[in-house]
Amino acid sequence: MLATAAAGLFTLTACAYGSTTIDDIGVGSGKGWPLAFRDARNSGSSPVTGSRKLALNWSRPVGGPVAQPTMVGADGQLYVTTRTGSCNALSFQMPTGRKRYCNVMGPSAIYGGSAVDGSANVYIGDDGAVYSFNNLGQPRWRTPAAGTPVSVQFTGDGNVLSVTQSGQIDVFSRQTGDRQIPTFQLLGEPDFLENASLSRPPDGQGLEDCASGGPQCPVANVSAVDQKSGRFYATLWKPGDGTAGLVALTYDGKKVHVDWNAQLLNEGSATSPALSADGSTVYVGDNTNRLMAVDAATGRTKWVQDLGFPARGGISVSDGLLVPAGDEGHLMALRDKGDSAEVAWERKDLELRGRPVQTAGDTGYTVAPIGDKLTLVTFDTKTGATVQSNELPGAEGSTAGTAVGAKGEVVVTTRIGELFVFKPEK
């Protein structure tokens, strides 16, 4: 009788704790690489002081191609999505490269956005849903969404902000996956009275166009979030429009609403938007080789700089120094002067093969072809001068991303599906 009562008390206690509304899971950006561009602003820069003396620790294939950068949790655990016949969401241990888990997901997981919170829970966009797994790969929840969430971010109040390539915006609880606000549609709600037989498009529709910001992918990029104000910025190419736009929206805890829409991205978006540290300026690139600074409050264009190549993917932003990414062009840095930009330095001898990143200590990393080999180049962000070069053995093509771990590890992911992890030498 006493044992039965004790068991009942334990059950009630467990249920009470399981249903708590208190969110005690950390969501801060920390010192890993928990988001596609490290933080909610899409800065592509790390507060960790970057090492200027790296050594290759390990490398390994992931089993399939990679389209999105690898996430690095605060504890160093690596998360990457791919497309294979067996599994699509993988995790590896930073010290050794040992696979921790490999989960089966849909074919669009390779294009989906990812985010990792402070307790190493991962959130991944897939065909028609956002999934969450814990650090052991065990499922936590799955919530449906129309399309494939290509942007997965964290809001200032600790929820998950999801934006699909078809323009559906949702805010989910990190604990339960429950919708916190009504769904918002960037392309507007369908009129079922006028189109009674209208069917939902396939969840993977247009994803191949997202990499280049093409017209078949209305929302091609990762949204930049100002977590203090609740405002976030997305690129949007509405069907039938001749130009794509940069859209400012605000999540106020109850709903999402549009603040402004600036039609300025000729031939579509080339980059995800990135915010300055003070949140006053949004940087974005289009497919006519232009990099632009936009007033975050009004949508007014502050300046336009012709790079001579599309800044494909993203822009690393640190202390007003902008380093564009891409698979064309060369390594260069711009300085934001307020109403204009100036070239701080450029390295025409170093072709871009992915996304350069900046770290504290005036140190940056980029991948470039040197001879017939891909090389990780450590450079001084003040001058652009090469500090060190490390070959990526056997690597080919381009890279999906470069990330920096909490201890200064540098993780390079190639598009053909290989991980290279460098560690600081003492």
Q: What does the block give as tokens for 40?
A: 């909610």
Is residue 114 in a domain? yes
DSSP type of residue 11: H
Nearest to 256 by CA among 233, 238, 235, 240: 233
- Closest C-alpha among 87, 91, 81, 90 to residue 113: 81
What does the pLDDT read at residue 170?
98
Query: What CA–CA distance (Å, rounded) separates 186 from 41?
Result: 20
Q: What is the pLDDT of the chain when averaged over all its residues?
A: 91
Q: Mean pLDDT check: name the lowest of 195-199, 246-250, 340-344.
A: 195-199
What pLDDT was estimated at residue 29? 54
pLDDT band per the 50, 70, 90 thresholds, residue 13: very low
* 230 domain-assigned: yes
Q: How far is CA 424 from CA 73, 93, 138, 421, in A?
A: 18, 17, 32, 10
pLDDT in tens, 233-256: 999 999 989 999 999 999 999 999
The mean-pLDDT minimum among 46-55, 107-116, 117-126, 194-203 falls in 194-203
pLDDT at 171 over 60: yes
414: left (phi over 0), alpha (psi -120 to 50) or beta: beta
Q: Identify each DSSP E strand in 193-300 by its residue range.
A: 224-225, 231-236, 243-251, 256-266, 274-275, 281-285, 290-295
Whose structure tokens read 């202390």?
319
Rounded CA separation 164/151 (Å) = 7
> What does residue 224 show for φ and ψ, rounded to 5 degrees?
-95, 135
Range of the domain at 233: 28-187+205-424
pTM of the model: 0.91
Smallest CA-to-CA distance from 159 within 311, 23, 309, 346 is with: 23
Average pLDDT, integer, range 224-239: 96
Q: What percent of the chain has pLDDT over 70?
A: 90
- Does residue 17 belong to any structural domain of this protein? no
Of residues 28 and 421, more confidence is placed in: 421
Residue 140 lies in a domain: yes
How high is the pLDDT of residue 2?
A: 40
Whether the CA torsion 211, 124, 166, 238 is positive or negative: it is negative
Q: In the predicted model, is pLDDT for residue 398 greater than 60? A: yes
Map tokens 């100036």 to a residue: 342
Kindly state the tokens that stand for 173: 């609880």
In a domain, 121, yes or no: yes
Cα distance between residue 321 and residue 275, in whole Å: 12
For residues 291 and 304, is the Cβ–Cβ distance under 8 A? yes
CA distance 415 to 65: 6
Residue 51 and residue 388 in contact, taking contact as beta carbons nearer than 8 Å: no
Mean pLDDT of 97-111: 95
**143/132 Cα distance (integer angstroms):** 9
357-360 and 45-49: which strand pairing?
parallel
Measure Cα distances from 422 to 37, 187, 425 in Å. Answer: 19, 43, 9
Residue 4 forms part of a structural domain? no
In a domain, 194, yes or no: no
Q: Which long-range contacts (CB under 8 A, 24 or more apart) does 89-92 make?
A: 89/122, 89/124, 89/131, 89/133, 89/137, 90/62, 90/63, 91/122, 91/135, 91/137, 92/60, 92/419
Candidate from 36-45, 128-137, 197-206 with smallest mean pLDDT = 197-206
For 348-375, write each residue's pLDDT tens digit. 999 999 999 999 999 999 999 999 899 9
Proportion of the chain above pLDDT 90, given as a percent: 87
Q: What are phi and psi of 140, to 5 degrees?
A: -105, -50
Q: What is the CATH number of the domain that holds 38?
A: 2.130.10.10
Per the domain annotation, does 7 fall within a domain? no
Q: Is the pLDDT of residue 108 over 70?
A: yes
Among candidate residues 262, 207, 216, the one with its CA nearest the CA of residue 238: 216
Q: Which of 312, 419, 402 is nearest to 65 (CA)?
A: 419
Number of domains composing the chain: 1
pLDDT confidence tier of residue 193, bands split at 50, 70 and 90:
low
Report pLDDT for 45.
97
